[in-house]
Amino acid sequence: MEFKLLAKDKNSAARVGELVTDHGTIQTPIFMPVGTVGSVKGVYHRDLKEDIGAQIILGNTYHLYLRPGLDILNKAGGLHKFISWDRPILTDSGGFQVFSLTGIRKLTEEGCTFQSHIDGSRHTFTPENNVHTQRMIGADIMMALDECCPGDATRDYAKKSLKLTQNWLERYAKAFNESEPLYGYNQSFFPIIQGCVYPDLRVQAAEHALEFADGGIAIGGLAVGEPTEQMYEMIETLDPVIPQDKARYLMGVGTPANILEAIARGVDMFDCVMPTRNGRNGMLFTWNGIMNMRNQKWADDFSPIDPCGTSFVDHAYSKAYLRHLFIAGEMFAAQLASEHNLAFYLDLVRTARQHILDGDFAQWKEVTVKRLTTRL
Q: Can you tell me the distance from the alpha carbon of 321 to that of 344, in angstroms, rounded to the nearest whole number?
A: 19
Residue 90 in contact with residue 105, Cβ under 8 Å? no
Q: Rounded to whole angstroms, how far apart are CA atoms 313 and 293?
A: 14
> Within 13 Å of residue 320, how many CA atoms lie on the same side as its CB?
5
In angstroms, the Cα distances linking 12 to 19, 69, 125 are 21, 44, 40
Are 57 and 40 in contact by the 8 Å Cβ rule? The answer is yes
Give the type of residue at 24.
G
92 is catalytic: yes
Comparing CA positions, the residue from 276, 277, 281, 259 lying closest to residue 268 is 259
Q: Which of 9, 47, 51, 92 is catalytic?
A: 92
State residue 193 phi and psi, 5-degree precision.
Answer: -85, 120
Q: What does the longest C-alpha to C-alpha distance in the chain come to?
A: 62
Backbone angles phi, psi at 6, to 5 degrees: -105, -30
Please indicate whether residue 271 is annotated as part of the active site: yes
Q: Pick the catalytic residue: 47, 51, 271, 314? A: 271
Please give the positions annotated as active site.
Answer: 92, 271
